[in-house]
C-alpha cells in the first residue's frame, strides 16, 4: 500500500525538519540538533541557577580564585564566538570528585575534584574537557536525542516548564550536570573522546602541560572501587581514554611548547 497524500506531506515535512536540524562539530561530525543555541543557553543558565540554590557554593575565596584562574586561561583560547559567553565559574562544596559545564557558559567544579587533581595542570584537564563538551554542543545533541526518543515531548514544552521535576532531570541529565541532582547519565564514548582530545589541545594552547591529562586519568583509575570518583561513573572506560590521550600528545605537546615560548604561563596557585 502506498501512503495517502497527507501521509506523504507529513513525511516530507518531517524530513525537512530533521534536515534543517542537522549541525556539525568543530571537527566536522554531523549532529542532530532540535534546539538552537539561544534556547539551549537559556536552559543552561536556568539549570545553573537551580543548582546554586540546591547545592552549597563554596565560600572559600582562595579556591574560587584558583579555579577561575584556570578557567580564564582556558576560555581565552576558545574560538572567539565561545569567548563571548557570559562565563561564570563556581566551586561547589561536595566531596564527589566531579565537574561540569553548561551551555550559556556556566562551569561548576566540586571541592572533591580539587582534592583529586594534583596540580593546576590536572585541574585544567578537567575544566578543558568540560569546556570542550560545551563547544561541541554535546548537551544540545544529547537533549535532542532524548526528545526524539520520548514521543510526545517537544523542546518548547520542556524548556517552558523547567521547574517540573521530570523536565529538570531531563535537562540536567542531558547537560551533564545530572550527577549533582542524582541522575547519573554517562556520556557516549564518541562525546567523551571528542571532549578528551579537544580539552587536551585547549589546555596545551593555554600553557598547561597536556601530559598531565594522562596523569589525572591514572589517578582516577587508581582510586577505583567503592571510593571511585563520581566523574568515572559518568565518564566511563578509563583505560581506552588514557591510550587515546597518550596518542594525542603528538599534537598537543608542540602546541604546549609554542604556548610557553609565546609566554603563556598560567601561574594559577591553589
Which of the stretches 38-46, 49-57, 152-160, 179-187 binds Zn ion when contact is defined by CB under 5 A? 179-187
- Interacting span for Zn ion (CB under 5 A) from 25-33, 67-75, 78-86, 185-193: 185-193
Minimum CB distance to Zn ion smaller for 153 or for 183: 183
Nearer to Zn ion among residue 195 and residue 245 (C-beta): 195
**How near is the Cβ of 234 to Zn ion at its closest, in Å?**
7
d(CA 105, CA 152): 30
Residue 177 is a binding residue for Zn ion (CB under 5 A)? no
Please enumerate in sequence order all residues whose Cβ is within 8 A of that of 40, keeping only pairs 6 or more positions apart, or say none.
103, 104, 137, 139, 140, 143
| Distance in angstroms (rounded) separating the CA atoms of residues 33 and 18 | 8
Enter the DSSP assignment of 186.
P
Binding mask 59-98 for Zn ion (x = CB under 5 A): ----------------------------------------
Least distance in angstroms from the C-beta of 136 to Zn ion: 10
- DSSP string of 131-152? HHHHHTTHHHHHHHHHHHHSTT
Please give the DSSP secondary-structure letter assigned to residue 226: G
Catalytic, out of 54, 77, 88, 130: 130
**Least distance to Zn ion, CB of residue 123, Å:** 15
Nearer to Zn ion, 175 or 215 (CB): 175
The residue range among 9-17, 107-115, 141-149, 181-189 that interacts with Zn ion, by the rule CB under 5 A, is 181-189
Please tell me whether residue 191 adopts helix, strand or coil conformation.
Answer: helix
- For the CB of residue 191, give the shortest distance to Zn ion in the complex, in Å: 7
| String of contacts with Zn ion for each residue 221-240, x by CB under 5 A | --------------x-----
Output the smallest distance, CB 132 to Zn ion, in A: 8
Is the separation of the CB atoms in 218 and 153 below 8 Å?
no
For residue 3, the SS3 value is coil
Q: Which segment (14-22, 65-73, 191-199, 241-249) binds Zn ion by CB under 5 A?
A: 191-199
What does the angle CA 53 – CA 56 – CA 59 come to, to the nearest 5 degrees?
120
Annotated catalytic, 194? no
Measure the CA angle with vertex 243, ends 241 and 245; round to 5°.
65
Number of chain positions touching Zn ion (CB under 5 A): 3
**Helix, strand, coil percentages, rounded to 5, for the chain:** 65, 10, 30
**CB of 201 or CB of 235, closer to Zn ion:** 235
Q: If binding is defined by CB under 5 A, does position 131 make contact with Zn ion?
A: no
- Residues in Cβ contact with 92 at an 8 Å cutoff, skipping those fewer than 6 apart: 51, 55, 56, 57, 58, 108, 109, 110, 111, 180
Asked whether position 195 contacts Zn ion by CB under 5 A, the answer is yes
DSSP assignment letter at 29 = -
Active site residues: 130
Q: Which residues are at the interface with Zn ion (CB under 5 A)?
A: 187, 195, 235
Amino acid at each position: 500500500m502506498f501512503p495517502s497524500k497527507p501521509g506523504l506531506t507529513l513525511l516530507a515535512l518531517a524530513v525537512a525538519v530533521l534536515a534543517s536540524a542537522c549541525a556539525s562539530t568543530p571537527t566536522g561530525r554531523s549532529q542532530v540538533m532540535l534546539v538552537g543555541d539561544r534556547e539551549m543557553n537559556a536552559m543552561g543558565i536556568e539549570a545553573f541557577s537551580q543548582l546554586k540554590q540546591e547545592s552549597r557554593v563554596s565560600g572559600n575565596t582562595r579556591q574560587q580564585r584558583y579555579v577561575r584562574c584556570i578557567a580564564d586561561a582556558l576560555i581565552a583560547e576558545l574560538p572567539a564566538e565561545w569567548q563571548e559567553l557570559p562565563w561564570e565559574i563556581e566551586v561547589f562544596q561536595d566531596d564527589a570528585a566531579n565537574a561540569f559545564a553548561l551551555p550559556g557558559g556556566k562551569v561548576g567544579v566540586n571541592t572533591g575534584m580539587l582534592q583529586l587533581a594534583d596540580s593546576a595542570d590536572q585541574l585544567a584537564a578537567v575544566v578543558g574537557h568540560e569546556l570542550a563538551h560545551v563547544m561541541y554542543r554535546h548537551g544540545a545533541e544529547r537533549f535532542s536525542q532524548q526528545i526524539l526518543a520520548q514521543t510526545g515531548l517537544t523542546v518548547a514544552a520542556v524548556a517552558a516548564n523547567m521547574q517540573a521535576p521530570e523536565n529538570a532531570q531531563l535537562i540536567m541529565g542531558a547537560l551533564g550536570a545530572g550527577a549533582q541532582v542524582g541522575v547519573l547519565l554517562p556520556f557516549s564514548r564518541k562525546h567523551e573522546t571528542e571532549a578528551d582530545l579537544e580539552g587536551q589541545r585547549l589546555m596545551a594552547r593555554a600553557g598547561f602541560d597536556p601530559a598531565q591529562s594522562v596523569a589525572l586519568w591514572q589517578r582516577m583509575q587508581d582510586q577505583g572501587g567503592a571510593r571511585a570518583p563520581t566523574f568515572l561513573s559518568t565518564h566511563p572506560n578509563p583505560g581506552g581514554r588514557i591510550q587515546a590521550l597518550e596518542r594525542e600528545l603528538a599534537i598537543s605537546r608542540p602546541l604546549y611548547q609554542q604556548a610557553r615560548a609565546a609566554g603563556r604561563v598560567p601561574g594559577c596557585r591553589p
